[in-house]
Structure 1
Amino acid sequence: MTEHEECPSCPRCRAGICEIHRPVVGRREVAVFLVAGVLLLAGVLAGYFTPYPLAGTALLLAAAFISGYGVLKAGFLALIRLRFSIAVLISIAAAGAFLTGNPAEGATVLYLYAIAEFLEEYAAGRAERSIASLLDIAPQTARVRRDGGEVTVPVEDVGVGETVIARPGDTVPLDGIVTAGASSVDQAAITGESVPVAKGVGDGVYAGTRNMEGYLEVRVTKPEEESTIARVVALVAEAQAHTSPTEAFIERFSRYYTPAVILVAALLIVVPPLAFGVPFLEAFYRALILLVIACPCALAISTPVSMVSGITTAAHNGVLIKGRDSLEAVGLARVVVFDKTGTLTAGRLEVDDVISFGVPEAEVLAVAASLDSRSGHPIAEAIRLRAEAEGTVLQDVEEFASITGRGVRGKIDGATYLLGNAALFPELPGGAWWVEYDRLLREGKTVVLAGTDSAVIGLVALSDVIRGDVPETVADLRSRGIRTVMLTGDNERVGEAVARRIGIDECHAGLLPEEKVAMVERLMDRYGLVVMVGDGVNDAPALARANVGVAMGAIGSDVAIEAADIVVMEDDISRVAYLVALSEKTVSVVRQNVVAAIIVKLGIAGLAVLGLVSLWMAVAFGDMGLSLAVIANALRIGRPDAGS
């Protein structure tokens, strides 16, 4: 056993995709198929074109044993345990062909079935190699600052707290925090972002991301086996162990399917000779064909190979799907629920309108920003940022006082000004300012009044910033026939205003966290499968209750990665539309594969009963050919346009 095999910290070992433990199928199998193929061809030629038919049969037996040893052994062991597996069907069919004087067809059955098995295993291995390729982007060595110098060491020898160096063009070796330098970093391998992200002191960087043009020193925060990319790979590999509802149904179906097929084949041997005078050997041969065509190989692989292809494709595009059941559920769901703050909106107020009455707008903004200069409230911060952007000069404030629940007051250049809500101006008559105030409130905005003891001089309206791609994402979902719902703790007026702006179908406002859970339950009762999208922190209970919980922007949040069923690594709402499109495509491919497998097998089975197909044709078209078609269709999901 090598040192690597004993290493428990290898990310590939922990994910179950280490090539040392699970060699990739390839050269050995190809050699076996070449040798068996030559023997098969030689046996057929010897049987038909030489006076030595026994020599041909011997060659065919050798070809059958070499190519079919695995399935024959599995079939024998299953049969003595009275377990009717696919291997039993193939073994009976091959043995029957030899016993009825059709050795070429018996050998061909085993040879073609072995090739089909190899291709299925190769397809599964292709998905695993796709997962492993995520780990390959992280370098195996790192430049580390030690003893005042710079040394290059294996990444597994770098400890938490040490400083690694990333020069322009380098790939960041380990997760950490930038302690010196500034650059832009390409995070596409992890988050799916196409645009490099600016990084400076205090920003987090991740193993496998590429430093573009600057010099960075990074303090390591996680060892190699706990890096973000290693964890993603482990979770994606783990997701392959979760079966989808469709897979579970096919597995249950197969338990009864194989014994039923054997029973039907037995009846086909007995009934036609007795009822219709069909020769016994011909009836027996037709039964063998039925056994071969009834093998549910294509049906069995139709779902898992599609699901794995979808999961690995999503991982390469910054979406971590933690189970095949979640991928299928998203593809079937007709309702997507969004938490508002932090998901649809940035959770950051921004000044939308500055309206003045009898004074310049600049004066209103100057008064508001000056009075708010001593406050740390989000409203005050938004007003100061707007003033700073417009070059407004703040004035000194004297006799400043805070009025609980209403606002603030103070003197600027000897004049007293007030800033706050309408309760701060109870004695002032309505007028133009009241009309504007009411209009802004109906639009769902937060409105701050600025004025004196005798008049309102202006209004400042603010709203939560809606994320850039939200309207397009919501429109995309609606175009797919998906109902969109928004949950928020804000008041109904604010919630409805945001819903109108972004095109949400249904809004439920004024909800506490436990009320969001209850609302998700009601939506599940009304619509069936429900997908909930949130930030994975303050809406964690609702995410956990939904059929599928999707956490946004969770690249640095261990809590969100653990809590959610699906994790969008970057804070990009358009990834939700991508996820739905990919899931729908995956479900569609699964349905195509299942329907195609059933139709083709039923068609050839009907021809077999009538004696219109041979044994090798049943294997070539009804088993191996169909399996190839199913695999090829499933691998389409991994194409670059998948989910677009």
Structure 2
Amino acid sequence: MARHAAPESGITKVYRVEGFTCANCAGKFEENVKRLPGVLDAKVNFAAAKITVTGEATIAELEKAGAFERLKVRPDTGDIATGGNSGKARGAAAFLRRHGSLLAGAALLAAGCLARLALGGHHPVTAAAFAASIVVAGHRLFRTGLNNLFRLDFDMRTLMTVAIIGAALIGEWTEGAVVVILFALSEALERYSMERARRSIRSLMELAPREAPVLRDGREMTVRTDEIEVGDTLIVRPGAKIAMDGIVASGTSAVNQAAITGESVPVPKSPGDEVFAGTLNGEGLLHVRVARLAQDSTISRIIRLVEEAQEGRAPAQAFVDKFAKYYTPVIIAAAALIAVVPPLISGGGWLDWLYQGLAVLVVGCPCALVISTPIAIVSAIGSAAGRGVLIKGGIHLEQLGAVKAIAFDKTGTVTQGIPRLTDVRLFGESVDRRDLLRIAAALEHRSGHPLAAAVTGAAREEGIDFPGTIVDNFTSVTGRGIEGETEGARYRIGSPEWIRIGTDARMEGEWEAYANRLRGEGKTVLAVAKDGEPVAVLGVIDEARPESRGVIGKLHELGIRKTVMLTGDNRDTAAAVARQAGIDDVRAGLMPEDKLEAIRGLASEYGAVAMVGDGVNDAPALAAATVGIAMGGAGTDAALETADIALMGDDLGKLPYAIRLSRKTLAVIRQNIAFALIVKLAALLLVVPGWLTIWIAILSDMGATLIVALNAMRLMRVRA
């Protein structure tokens, strides 16, 4: 179809949509919106009940495009704090609007059944009651089905419309009415199951308060969260929910972050610590300096990413969509052949075979098949989000289950990411210990490397004032170390190998022996050189996470054939940590490009490979892996945006859960597809002896849809 001339404006807006009954109807709505004048493009997210429109269209035009479903459209403001209760306020009205026709049609069906018992099946009153039931409960179905039929667009509603009209024409009023009611009931069940699957996201939307007490100009006032600005100070009383992302300015408490990170134990918070909107304060009073607007909070970003993830189609879903595209015309052709060919051959029985053809149309309705994959994907992604695992698309969920090898970064992934300075050994007399720590901390203060915190932390603990130390010509060499000039000398801090290359003096045997001893203890060694002369060795330890050995064991039990540590650290240090964690292989001294090559090598050997890292330094490896998994996504922009999956609570223990969920989802999808097809085939085989009835057809279709939906919702009960 020719498209309307596109306007210059390419503005994109997102709208919430109320009233979707099925995925197929969502597709119709999308096509209708694309045909609107001024619309460049439109994309419906059925799972999130949203539409993204590029171009210009009014809400009235959008609702007209969805008039066949009586869809209601409203702007998506992105304000999670105000979106939680509107559905409850309009609950009764929405229920009647959605199901009023079904209830009235069911009442008329009941009246028709009573009339049949009292007056007989062929009495005009009986036929009138059944006809009224068909019209009242099926008018929306017929409107869409007939429009589709005139456009030669054969979908499930077209099938049902032809079947019901055919039943009426051959005098099967009772079965026609039953088919309408059961089809409407089937759609209601499908809608209910999708609503259940979306509920985990809605529960996130309802976490953040709609208003909060704020200190402004020395006075406390209650302000709507969408009016709170960055820099405002929130007053968070004991037992209250935190309304905005921010930094604790004063006070200490323990905060329950389970809704965001999945952590079951409240996390201690003190000045300088980050807190998230929607989390629950414990017994302390906190003053929190707001760091993000409501629409930019961690919980808002999680919701947006999960909704986008639900929109992305997994390979299994793409297969089903393509299959259904050809499946429906085949069913229509088969029904026509069944209705025409046997009576032509036998020379009679037209009504009987026409009835069989109509039954084939009903049983061929692909409701269960179409819903089999999206409801499983939505259930799994929504459930995972509620347990602190953000999966950014059905394709990543599916790929994770196929992973056979997993590579881990060391610092902050296998280890706790909290390095401590444990050893300081001076060589020579050109600098004393406190001066060395002050200068080293002044340089490391300018570095973003995780080990820098160990040096600066140790200096603070000893009361050494380093921020005032002036450093000139500071440079950082990725994977090697840092250097800079201060107090008339040039200092270099980094790996002993790098220091050796950059110094005039050769490494003394005593120095090397000391460094090797530290490495054998699982410590990272930093060498310090002054004007080209080695002057000190620092030992830093970042211990393996207590849960890491158990996690690696579970991964092997799940069939992961290879676990590898990829790190820029020294091999001896990395090997000591790997032994603690139970990791199979260690590849140390790697630059970012080396990690990338290692991932490619693992992929060529094992096929699907996952990389677990921090989402920043490991970006090339995360991108090259089949599935990139970031640690500690909560509040981390880079982790949320770059990884395919984010473990929100910095909890490595969620990795086996994510793999189990992925495999369970794939199993459920396969079960759903197989079950839907087997039920269809079994019902169609009843045509051979002439046993297929419209009753059996609609019950098989509705039953398959219900069982497929219930099976998919089992994914919500997979435990972390």
1:441 Cα deviation after fit: 5.3
What is the letter of the counterpart of residue 40 of structure 1? L
Structure 1 residue 200, shift from structure 2 partner = 1.3
The 1:348–1:129 alpha-carbon spacing in structure 2 relative to 1, beyond 3 Å, is closer
Match of 2:710 in 1: 632
**TM-score if structure 1 supplies the norm length?**
0.82
Residues 18-417 of structure 1 mapped to structure 2, 5 A cutoff: 19=87, 26-51=95-120, 53-275=123-345, 279-349=349-419, 376=440
Is the CA contact (8 Å cut-off) linking 1:372 and 1:384 kept in structure 2?
Answer: no
Which is further off, 209-218 or 611-620? Answer: 611-620
Deviates further, 543-552 or 6-15: 6-15
Superposed CA deviations along residues 452-501 of structure 1, whole A, max 9, x for unmatched, are xxxxxxx9976431112111111111111023232222344444443333
Letter in 1 for 2:260: I
Contact in 2 for aligned 1:14/1:234 (Cα 8 Å): no
Contact kept in structure 2, 1:8 and 1:14, CA below 8 Å: no
2:225, 2:243 within 8 Å by CA — same for their partners in 1?
yes
TM-score (norm 2): 0.74
Q: Secondary structure at the match of 1:609?
A: coil
Aligned length: 592
**Structure 1 position 370, deviation (Å):** 7.8
In structure 2, how many angstroms separate the alpha carbons of the residues matched to 1:427 and 1:141?
64
- What's the CA shift for 1:126? 2.6
Aligned to 2:629: 550
Give the secondary-structure state (helix, strand or coil) at the position aligned to 1:142: strand
Alignment identity in percent?
44
Match of 1:426 among 509, 514, 528: 509
- Does the 8 Å contact 1:25/1:121 carry over to 2? no
Distance 1:61 1:507, change over 3 A: farther
> What is the match of residue 638 of structure 2?
559
Q: Could you tell me which amino acid in structure 2 is paired with residue 426 of structure 1? A: G
Per-residue deviation at 1:510? Answer: 2.8
- 1:15/1:148 Cα in 2 relative to 1: closer, same or farther (>3 Å)? closer
Contact 2:82 2:210 in 1 (8 A): no
Change in Cα spacing, 1:542 to 1:384, as seen in structure 2 (3 Å) is: closer
More moved, 5-14 vs 142-151 = 5-14
CA distance in 2, matches of 1:324, 1:71: 31
Q: Which residue of 2 aligns with 1:11?
A: 79
Query: For 1:570, what is the secondary structure of its paired residue?
Result: coil
Shift of the 16–76 alpha-carbon distance from structure 1 to 2, 3 Å rule, reads farther
Give distance in 2, aligned partners of 1:403 and 1:427.
21
* C-alpha displacement of 1:294: 1.4
Q: How far off is 1:643 after superposition?
A: 3.8
C-alpha separation in 1, matches of 2:495 and 2:80: 59
Equivalent residue, structure 1, for 2:551: 473
**Rounded Cα–Cα distance in structure 2 between residues aligned with 1:22 and 1:481:** 49
Residues 596, 231 of structure 1: alpha-carbon distance in 2 compared, 3 angstrom cutoff = same
1:537, 1:560 within 8 Å by CA — same for their partners in 2?
A: yes
Q: Report SS of the residue matched to 1:504.
A: coil
Structure 1, residues 415-454: CA drift from partner, whole Å, max 9, x if none? xxxxxxx9765389xxxx97x98787567655799xxxxx
Maintained 8 Å contact 1:15/1:233 = no
Q: Deviations over 1:85-115 (max 9, x none)?
A: 1111111111121122211111111211111
Match of 1:570 in 2: 649
1:245 to 1:384, Cα distance in 2 relative to 1, 3 A: closer
CA distance 1:172–1:446, shift in 2 (3 Å): closer
Per-residue deviation at 1:270?
Answer: 2.8
Q: Check the 8 A contact 2:81/2:225 in 1, yes or no.
A: no
Higher mean C-alpha deviation, range 143-152 or range 300-309: 143-152
**Quick one: which amino acid aligns to residue 478 of structure 1?**
H
> Residue 466 of structure 1: SS of its match in structure 2?
coil
Distance verdict in 2 for CA 1:406–1:465, change over 3 Å: closer
**1:19 offset after TM fit, Å?**
4.7
- For residue 26 of structure 1, give the secondary structure of its aligned residue in structure 2: helix
Determine the C-alpha separation between the residues in 1 that align with 2:526 and 2:199: 58
Determine the C-alpha separation between the residues in 2 that align with 1:542 and 1:137: 35
Q: Secondary structure at the match of 1:289?
A: helix
> Aligned partners of 2:494 and 2:238: how far apart in 1?
54
Partners in 1 of 2:119 and 2:510 — Cα distance?
116
Greater radius of gyration (CA): 1
- Give the 5 Å matches for 1:446-485: 446=524, 463-482=541-560, 483-485=562-564
Instruction: State the 1:16 CA deviation.
Output: 12
- Distance verdict in 2 for CA 1:7–1:256, change over 3 Å: closer
Unmatched 5+ stretches in structure 2: 1-58, 61-72, 425-431, 445-450, 462-488, 497-504, 528-536
Corresponding residue SS for 2:411: coil
For 2:587 and 2:232, locate their aligned partners in 1 and report how far apart those are by CA, in whole Å: 49
CA distance in structure 1 between the aligned counterparts of 2:458 and 2:82, rounded to whole angstroms: 51
User: 1:193: how far off?
Assistant: 0.8
Distance, in Å, in 2 between the alignment partners of 1:407 and 1:101 is 89
CA distance in 1, matches of 2:201, 2:168: 43
**What do the CA deviations read for 1:141-181 (whole angstroms, capped 9, x no partner)?**
11111232211122222222111101111111111111111
